[in-house]
Structure 1
Amino acid sequence: MRYKMLKKLIVSNNQMYRHMSGFVSQYNENHIPTTPLQKIMLSVGSAAISLFEPRRADMISTLGETTGTHALKYIRDKMINNPEGNEILQLQPRINSSTVDFGKLKDMPHNTLGYAYFKFLDHNKVTPDSRGIVQFIDDIQLAYVMQRYREVHDLFHTVLGMPTNMLGEVTVKWIEAFQTKLPMTLSGGLFGAVRLKPKQREQYVKYYLPWAIQTGLNSNFMLNIYFEKRWEQPIEELHKELNIKPLEIFDLK
């Protein structure tokens, strides 16, 4: 019975895609169909390049797309079975400079999610426009799930209070690994930790990794949060809702 209801929801969501424009049209323009063998070759190649050149965001993205099918289905099912998550799947919102009024976020009270997100982007000199479009995922719904994951990654950093240095990235990757099951997040947590500086590694083992494991296991599913409708929510209130206790020790170089 549950399977039939889930299948019905998936079909219903797929039927709504014809009414969507933003993501669907962009996906259709960029999608590259690949065979299972080609996906394996892309996985191996992107994994090798990512290992030796971890700054190659394009290779990391490719690895995520070609190895994440089962995890993306897991994420999709969790979203479908949550009212807020299912709404995200139906409306397919995007997070970029054309959909978010950053001037408005800047003027929000300093205790809100919106202001915290603006401050995070401004302080770390990053932009949501840097997230590439999905290319190698053939199921359009799963492709959107991956796109959504990419575009809320900086919001995960914001909510978790983690900087964009290697220590912060590795910590967030561990929490994402527990929440999403995406292989690329697990590999990012494992191999990223090897690149930590001695002082960072000491703090990582003593504080960050235990906190990441506890948070990843006990926090509520963050991809079910419709962040764009929560800009005015006090971030402390969101922490309580997600069962997240921020780590006070961070931003080490």
Structure 2
Amino acid sequence: MNLLYNGHIPTNSLQKLILTLGSSIISILDPTRDDMVATLGETIGINAARYMQRKMHKNDEGKQILTEKPIINSSTINFNYLASLPQNTLGKSYLDWYNNNNVSPDTRKPVHFIDDPELSYIIRRNRDVHDLLHTVLGMPTNILGEVCVKWVEAIQTGLPMCALSSLFGPLRFNKRQKKLYVDYYLNWAVNCGYNSNFLMAIYFEKYWEESLKSFRKRHNIQEPPLIIK
């Protein structure tokens, strides 16, 4: 099988089955193994990728994303420009989120095991915009914030790994997080997932200058109930 895109690793059905079993066992034993979590996401997420592909092709902005295939990392995003934007714009909020959470857009794992160039890009795009979802949803990187974002992603994309994270992530909550989750965040996250515009079809990079409040309103993203500490 020929390489279909940069980083592609051709695999047959048996090899994919072995990858699925192996990565699932390792992911359960050690959830910090993001390489195994990414591999499992690819081997069991092909139907979800096709679902996202159909949704994006039905949307003008989604089609533009699939045509231009923008990549989000430190070499493609002008962080000096984002820093110059007014407070509470999407771009400045995105930069502030990175600074506040001490993370980088360069840590996302590349796609290897999807045997279709456009579907592989869709999985890559989903990983690239994950931090932007944290920004527009107002969620930090702690376990409660991650579970909330995963609920939105699971509902909107159908990705099995997002569904598993949203269902089993709460098992790691402490007592205070459980109360916040039940009282405020679960219902809010589910509503965002069902009622927001299809987030994978938003060309986020075109809206850096828009206020975060306006962006949320235009895309039916409900304001977060409060700041998670």
TM-score category by the smaller chain? over 0.9
Shift of 1:28: 3.1
2-structure distance, mates of 1:184, 1:196: 19
1:62-93, Cα deviation, whole Å (9 max, x unpaired): 01100011100010111111000100000000
What one-letter code is carried by the residue in structure 1 that aligns with 2:123? M
| Structure with a larger share of its residues in helix | 1
Shift of 1:117: 0.2
Aligned to 1:148: 125
Aligned to 1:94: 71
Shift of 1:250: 2.8
What one-letter code is carried by the residue in structure 1 that aligns with 2:62? G
What is the SS of the residue equivalent to 1:103? helix
Aligned to 1:161: 138
Aligned-pair identity (%)? 50
Q: Does 1:74 align with 2:51?
A: yes
| 8 Å contact kept, 2:82–2:208 | yes
Shift of 1:193: 1.1
| 8 Å contact kept, 2:184–2:225 | no
What is the SS of the residue equivalent to 1:163? coil
1:191-245, Cα deviation, whole Å (9 max, x unpaired): 2111111111111111111111111111110111111111111111110111011
Out of 159, 170, 186, which is 1:209 matched to?
A: 186
| 8 Å contact kept, 2:5–2:117 | no
1-structure distance, mates of 2:6, 2:194: 38
What is the SS of the residue equivalent to 1:162? coil
What is the SS of the residue equivalent to 1:28? coil
Shift of 1:29: 3.7
What one-letter code is carried by the residue in structure 1 that aligns with 2:71? R
Shift of 1:35: 1.1
Unaligned 5+ segments in structure 1 are 1-24
Aligned to 1:9: none
1:35-75, Cα deviation, whole Å (9 max, x unpaired): 11221221122122112211111111001100011100010
User: How do 1:1-253 residues align onto structure 2 when only pairs under 5 Å count?
Assistant: 28-252=5-229
What one-letter code is carried by the residue in structure 1 that aligns with 2:165? G
Shift of 1:100: 0.4
Cα-Cα RMSD: 1.2
What is the SS of the residue equivalent to 1:172? helix
What is the SS of the residue equivalent to 1:130? coil
Pick which of 50-59 and 164-173 moved more. 50-59
What is the SS of the residue equivalent to 2:129? helix
Q: Give the alignment's TM-score, normalised by structure 1.
A: 0.87
| 8 Å contact kept, 2:185–2:225 | no
What is the SS of the residue equivalent to 1:127? coil
- Which 4+ residue blocks in structure 1 deviate beyond 4 angstroms? none
Aligned residue pairs, count: 227
2-structure distance, mates of 1:215, 1:169: 14
Shift of 1:249: 1.9
What one-letter code is carried by the residue in structure 1 that aligns with 2:210? Q
1-structure distance, mates of 2:177, 2:23: 27
What one-letter code is carried by the residue in structure 2 that aligns with 1:130? T
Aligned to 1:3: none
1-structure distance, mates of 2:37, 2:83: 31
